[in-house]
Amino acid sequence: MTVKITHIDTWIVDVPTIRPHVLAMTSISRQSMTLVRIYTSDGVIGLGEGTTIGGLAYGDESPEAIKLTIDQYMAPLLIGQPLIDPAAQLTPIRSTVVGNHFAKNAVETALLDIQGQRLGVPLSTLLGGRHRERIPVLWTLASGDTAKDIAEAEAMIASRRHNIFKLKIGKRDLRQDVAHVAAIKRALGDEASVRVDINQAWDVVTALRGAAMLADAGADLIEQPLPRADRAGMAHLTRLSPIAIMADEALRGPLDAIDYVKSGACHAFSVKPAQAGGLFAARDVAAIGEAGQIGIYGGTMLEGSIGTAASAHLFATLPSLRWGTELFGPLLQTEDILAEPLEYRDFALTVPAAPGLGLALDLDKINHFRRDAPSRTVSTPGRQENA
């Protein structure tokens, strides 16, 4: 009997964060995740996630738009179709839906999850196989308060959860921001690496001054200091900066990666599956970076556990992760939506080993945080579901 895709669910789930997360363009106190479940006629269910940061303040896709795109444009291309290899299943979507990378990533992840479960192998095997079982993970200090950030970082080091830290700066005067970074680096000393993320807030002149000042402060790297369209500025800055410059928001897929390598516009790539348009596209971005001697860093859109696990499977397959990863998204949320949360210990994340993504949802948590929960769901105590 031919196995088919029978239906697709999409839910927006809003989970509060443990503290405000301050970026250059916005601040968030909850994370809104668009979760996808693809059902097959033989009972296998695949999971995916589409998550952005701060709605439309950060990028051009919102949780609501991701859900609408999947429901109205992608689901009709999949429902009722025979279940085949994910690459072939995605072909009509890629040819009829332009852009919408976050939505495409969510659906691609769910299809790969199904394939892994049916074959009895982890998703990382479908992506080429692992180089590592555990992945180093940094923590972002984004309260904006120097004393709080120092205390938070010291607690992370003491508990052996993180010893690499990224600071979100760019909203304040340059001298204030650098003083904030320098104070944290002094307090942590050599036992911690400190990087900064500007989220496109600087111009070239500010970035040149900032790079010199941050190098003196002991920072290791500056992430996306200039607007994503300013590739010439990024190339100029990369040539002159005393510390590493990383591209993030500017990398929207393999073509951007090629252009950045050709123009020498960065020293490092922040690889994000959602931003690239899916796990396959992100793998291509990383391969292009490696070929161009660009250091690879596993980025995040502050995804919850589903998107984080998918990224972890991909990053486990990469030959090199020179700058580590920042797959801390689930740790920023007050509640985890999994029956068994991902394992973080000894400064690293353990990549799930079970077939597919290797995850099981806690449906009580999902139902509690779903936007449509009051009118559409009934919670059963202790209910869990494998996916």
The alpha-helical segments, DSSP class H, found in the chain are 63-69, 75-78, 86-96, 101-119, 123-126, 146-158, 174-188, 204-217, 231-240, 254-263, 273-276, 279-291, 305-317, 329-332, 363-369, 373-376
To the nearest 10°, report the CA torsion of 80, 86, 91, 92.
Answer: 20
Phi–psi pair at 47, nearest 5 degrees: -110, 145
Q: Which CATH architecture has domain 5-121+360-386?
A: 2-Layer Sandwich (3.30)
Give pLDDT, residue 378: 41
Residue 375 confidence (pLDDT) above 50 = no
Give pLDDT, residue 55: 74
- Of residues 44 and 387, more confidence is placed in 44
Give pLDDT, residue 1: 74
268 close to 246: Cβ distance less than 8 angstroms: yes
Residue 31 confidence (pLDDT) above 90 = yes
Give pLDDT, residue 282: 98
Domain locations in the chain?
A: 5-121+360-386, 126-350
Give pLDDT, residue 23: 67
Give pLDDT, residue 120: 98
Q: Mean of the pLDDT values across residues 252-275?
A: 97
166 is catalytic: no
Residue 220 confidence (pLDDT) above 50 = yes
Query: How far, CA to CA in Å, does 215 sit from each of 134, 194, 221, 259, 343?
Result: 30, 11, 9, 27, 34
The model's confidence at residue 191, banded by pLDDT at 50, 70 and 90, is: confident
Residue 290 confidence (pLDDT) above 70 = yes
Q: Mean of the pLDDT values across residues 9-34?
A: 85
Average pLDDT along the chain: 93
- Of residues 53 and 78, more confidence is placed in 78
Q: And the tokens for 337?
A: 């939506």
Give pLDDT, residue 383: 45
Residue 374 confidence (pLDDT) above 70 = no
The model's confidence at residue 283, banded by pLDDT at 50, 70 and 90, is: very high
- Of residues 55 and 330, more confidence is placed in 330
Q: Mean of the pLDDT values across residues 251-260?
A: 97
Amino acid at 114: I
Name the 3-class secondary structure at 325. Answer: strand
Same fold: 5-121+360-386 with 126-350: no
Give pLDDT, residue 45: 98
- Of residues 229 and 58, more confidence is placed in 229
Range scoring the smallest mean pLDDT among 85-89, 206-210, 284-288: 85-89
Note the pTM of the prediction, 2 decimals: 0.93
Query: Cα 136 to the chain's mean position, in Å?
Result: 14
- Of 104, 168, 185, 365, which one is the catalytic site residue? 168
Residue 34 confidence (pLDDT) above 60 = yes
Q: Mean of the pLDDT values across residues 158-186?
A: 95
Phi–psi pair at 131, nearest 5 degrees: -100, -15
Range scoring the smallest mean pLDDT among 168-172, 218-222, 307-311, 339-343: 168-172
The superfamily CATH assigns to domain 126-350 is Enolase-like C-terminal domain (3.20.20.120)
- Of residues 387 and 69, more confidence is placed in 69
